[in-house]
Structure 1
């Protein structure tokens, strides 16, 4: 099954609504709780979880607790009971097609950063234990580079990074996952040569026979027609999600960046790639322009959206998206190369009274640089 098919088969809520259900009311939220409160020892099960291990009390407890056990407590073997044998894991420069690859990749990353800790920043979800759950898990990672690894000798430097992992889960097992990490930020904090790292990433893919597929025209504009006025909102489950998709289509596909001042709060905080923390509508406009300007023919396409009412007020919305185009503009990747670029991105929004007051967006400039180098190798 392709990722697009998977998106279409994702469990959804039957009717569009903005009311908080009784089931959602009892599920833990991450933001204002300490870790020990997120993985309680004696909390009764608060949500129906047919087929899940007894230690989990709701879907947020599940994703936070099992991630902690595997990555922080080093119980890597739990992957065998928490992923299906034929799970598929997508990232910006490759795909893993079975559970054993996930085990190997986890071990290698733990070798490089044994002090790494991943702290749940928020979990946005939908679904149920019959059809399956979908979770979007934003993690803030901290650590120190102390060991020899695929990155070379240790630098002893510390780092902070953001990662979003979107998971499709059924009866205690993840069967499909999308992971986006801000690896460029980590490499810069460690003082490593990002050109060399990106080249090595590309060479590994090239040696396996992978090549960049340049399909030319994308679906943002067909022939000489302008971008579509209306966006496809069929993946939305609530009125808020539908409205969010309309905003993003207007900004990214129709290039109406003035919309940002209408839908973002004047004091919005923007948490972006390369660990940027910026404030205000002008900053959001500039950072959005930076991405679109780097890929000026890019088509932005949402693949999944889910949301939860927030204990802090308003609604938290998670959007998984891709952007396809070519490196035709200046930006973080330097002089335009004309190479095809595929951006896998994750965005979390906090919407209060019809305005975005916080945005967390993660995509990886290092993966984009590796794509450029892979295209150049092919040439």
Structure 2
């Protein structure tokens, strides 16, 4: 039975603005997701007919490209000069996107796709922002970027954040849980990371991260600027990651909450989630967390808040990265999707690519 939108928002720790109710993907028949929609649910000037809204658009073009193998649809849905950011460098043309897709599908030709959430904001004028959380299963039957075929079956979370306007994606940030992929393939993460480090990408982003100090004193904790969702996210991430107040996890997360994290890790309950955070922070004890983007969705089983973030610091051995070079710059790009029930988070997908970060350590 459909939940009344007002009751769904009761008890949330932030206020959400009014906006159109668009396609939901959670607990929805996959065949219904793929069906052409008879009418628009939101204004989408410049988009092809048959798409109800931006979530419908993202889900269906992903299905066409990755499930139907209509790889050429990329030419019709990505700008010719699109920019794709990943831990491995920057792609700057649609042809590179097509080539990468061919390589991936050659290595994993029997893939299946599960859509877990699509958060969004924006409109037809300024462009739509989407954060697409998914899970794929496939068998490594051909050569891939990781090496020769292993014959092993893997399951991997991914998040693709896209800016789309007039039927074309022009900017994308992609994070795939390659830590889980490499281990399921039976490969050594350090061997893979060193091989990636030896092949310098043609284009890399440069960051100048703030330190944890303001002069010689610790930076003051962030304070809410309003009662909106972005302010709530920024204060929470600052408290937990920058202020290192892991004791406050229970203020934001329920006692029986669960976290699906990079590397295929799963942490149930507050104590195990604290241990997971310490594993990550132990690999870069001076790390600073920065939030790049916040969006949200009003889904079947609650409101989900999506966060694109960066954790930057100096490498230390013995934690997330194992035995690695120390005191090297580390950039861990991540995407979080947080599902709330009332005032607290009950489920957290924290997706990051530790292989890409580790390759950066070896490259530095």
Tell me whether the two structures share a fold, i.e. TM-score over 0.5: yes
With over 3 angstroms needed to count, the CA separation of the structure-2 counterparts of 1:289 and 1:154, relative to structure 1, is same
Residue 214 of structure 2 is aligned to residue 222 of structure 1? yes
The equivalent residue for 1:327 is: 315
Alpha-carbon distance in structure 2 between the residues aligned to 1:106 and 1:263:
38
Contact 1:271 1:360 (C-alpha < 8 Å) held by counterparts? yes
Q: Deviations over 1:289-327 (max 9, x none)?
A: 1111211111100000011233323x2100001111110
Structure 1, unpaired ranges of 5+ = 1-15
The equivalent residue for 2:304 is: 316
Deviation of 1:273 after TM superposition, in Å, equals 1.1
The equivalent residue for 1:291 is: 280
Q: Over the residues paired in the alignment, what is the CA RMSD in angstroms?
A: 2.1
Structure 2, unpaired ranges of 5+ = 1-13
Q: Map 1:1-379; keep pairs closer than 5 Å.
A: 17-21=15-19, 23=20, 25=21, 27-205=22-200, 218-230=210-222, 239-313=228-302, 315-335=303-323, 337-375=326-364
Name the SS of the counterpart of 2:151 in structure 1. Answer: coil
Alpha-carbon distance in structure 2 between the residues aligned to 1:213 and 1:48:
37
Contact 2:37 2:50 (C-alpha < 8 Å) held by counterparts? no
Name the SS of the counterpart of 2:149 in structure 1. Answer: coil
The equivalent residue for 2:5 is: none
Q: Deviations over 1:201-244 (max 9, x none)?
A: 111117x5x789796x73432331202322586xx9x6233212
Name the SS of the counterpart of 1:346 in structure 2. Answer: strand
Contact 2:38 2:50 (C-alpha < 8 Å) held by counterparts? no
Alpha-carbon distance in structure 2 between the residues aligned to 1:309 and 1:150:
37
Alpha-carbon distance in structure 2 between the residues aligned to 1:54 and 1:320:
30
Alpha-carbon distance in structure 2 between the residues aligned to 1:220 and 1:340:
15
Instruction: Provide TM-score, normalisation by structure 1.
Output: 0.87
With over 3 angstroms needed to count, the CA separation of the structure-2 counterparts of 1:42 and 1:370, relative to structure 1, is closer
Alpha-carbon distance in structure 2 between the residues aligned to 1:245 and 1:211:
26
Alpha-carbon distance in structure 2 between the residues aligned to 1:368 and 1:341:
6
Contact 2:267 2:276 (C-alpha < 8 Å) held by counterparts? no
Number of equivalenced pairs: 350
